[in-house]
A and B are shown apart, each in its own frame.
Chain A
């Protein structure tokens, strides 16, 4: 298929034909990597959260409980598969598939390492290298939203519908901030291809050069994957299980798989775009020159992805869930405007640099520090402003039938002194223990 050949990307169609079996090996390797990472991430999350809560966590199945996720998967597969009577059958079955397929597809453009030789063929450790790879990841991720929305709708039930609505609003809002955080990287690297962005980070990682973009990306990647503290679409206290309330057995397992693969994907994207991709961390190359050659870079890549996954788990173990309006305010009023301002600065600096050859690095570093400070400052009015509005000032009037039920006075409220026929009969408004 020479149609897909693109001249500025080597090794894909145009210059060296890759044998079909090599493509198949790469595709299967990515599939296996993602499934194993999912099984591992579930176990790791349970162990780490348990440690944070002074528990032990799963430790029975296999060494350190490592096979627990596998056992859970087998158990899920053996459960009864229930399709609700009110459901739209076709869409109900389609939704988990739509959810999980894009999750796998997005990984096709992530570079695991530099060129290596496999059975005599020189090839990069990457399934395909599109010139618009990052755009492809965004597009594929946006298709994944359908899985959740349709799952919520087709269940024919209220809570899943509400969960689906929340998730679609949430993912669309945070996709904007996520896309804007990428633009800084595009401007700086001059390319949307993942391999070239990694190649541009040999010296400095974009997490340092473009620190505000990185902060915005980290926040929006947590929002995009529906993880705590932004897990509003499946808030147990409000929506039972959210969009997957009516799902059981393997269909539920597919949603679970999709969530964890998405976590791995956004972590891999953070690694590729901001943390230097498969390049060895600073200083390693000074005493080990071969750290960036051959198969070794896979180790650095996987290590960085695991660190990003740990941050996900850490957040879940630490932070309480946000309220929906707080979450939306953070997305629209803080992340998007600040990333627009930051982009203006980056573009200006790049243009000025191209004209006058100034030290753009210094300008970016100071400007970035300033914007991080502004970002942090925006949290202060939020903290100050929401507190008083939540608790009414002074002693609010006690409504004995608030919400349609008789309720006792809350702390800080007192019973009103009754005036009228009954009050004139008794001294006290209600019978007390002395009366009996």
Chain B
């Protein structure tokens, strides 16, 4: 079946079998391999993407259910001008070790900060509760998101920045 959708602001389409998950669609049909396949059952959250302003496990969503919708993946966060404040904060603090959870962590964090850039530590933990990291113990990840939130809530941060 033909699936057409917006990915990171670009209209994309590809033909795929109906049983294709959004994750497989992104990785194997659109060659966007940022979202990762971890547990395959919704436990780890490394496949997290944002669809129409909400975070989803792309391994537990049919590509067909994302048709016509607006999908943001980790590839949509950085451009030639620079990286997203969350990515910058992760880099500065060394929030990742192996990095496999990173795309999901950052998308969950972005989904939270887009709605609430002044989120408390408790709210950050809540928003990340569906994402597992087996290296870091989460401390630096949470600190980075707090820092990114401060950047995103400052007057200097362009509010029109959609990615």
Q: Report whether chain A binds chain B.
A: no
